[in-house]
Amino acid sequence: MLKILLDNNAIDKVQHNLDFIKENRHKLDIYVPRSVMGEACENKSYNPTWNVISLLKADVKYLPDAIFVFGYSRLDGEACFGSEEVGEVYKNILNQNKSNIVDAVIATTAVANDCILITEDKKLYNKMKNFGYKVMNFAELQETITSLHDKN
């Protein structure tokens, strides 16, 4: 079973590959963090209703963010005050001008929950790879699932 966490740009891939996800549901444990869910609901260019419906159809589970970032995280009782190790992941992903706080929170949540981050963001993907964190794009996920199918 692959434990994956979807980045906001991977939700679009889920929408367009819903049949594939449903067929392989028994091989996947799919999660989405609060920060991604918030963006999926607020992003008008991606049709928020369809985003949520697609996630429900794909049997996606919700995870709270693994780190609390002052001035960014919502005080909803869900965000965690991360451990030193979790904070290290956040610092590794965050860029110098701190313009990618959302990416850093998503990556931190994936690592803290031992998930493979599924993202189409090349910068985030490369940064995750460089630090040895688990990451795939959607095409790699499909290849991995297909190879699991071929072995069985």
Q: Which residues pair with 2 in a beta bridge?
A: 28
Strand order in the sheet with 2-6: 61-63, 28-33, 2-6, 116-118, 135-136
- When the pLDDT of each residue in the chain is averaged and rounded to a whole number, the result is 86
Q: Are strands 2-6 and 61-63 parallel, antiparallel or unpaired?
A: unpaired
SS3 144: helix
pLDDT of residue 83: 64
Q: Which residues pair with 33 in a beta bridge?
A: 63
* pLDDT greater than 80 at residue 124: yes
Q: The whole model's pTM is what?
A: 0.88
Across the range 28-56, mean pLDDT stands at 79
pLDDT of residue 135: 99
Across the range 37-58, mean pLDDT stands at 75
Going from the N-terminus, what domains does the chain have, and what CATH number goes with each? 2-151 (3.40.50.1010)
**Contact, 37 vs 6, CB < 8 A?**
no
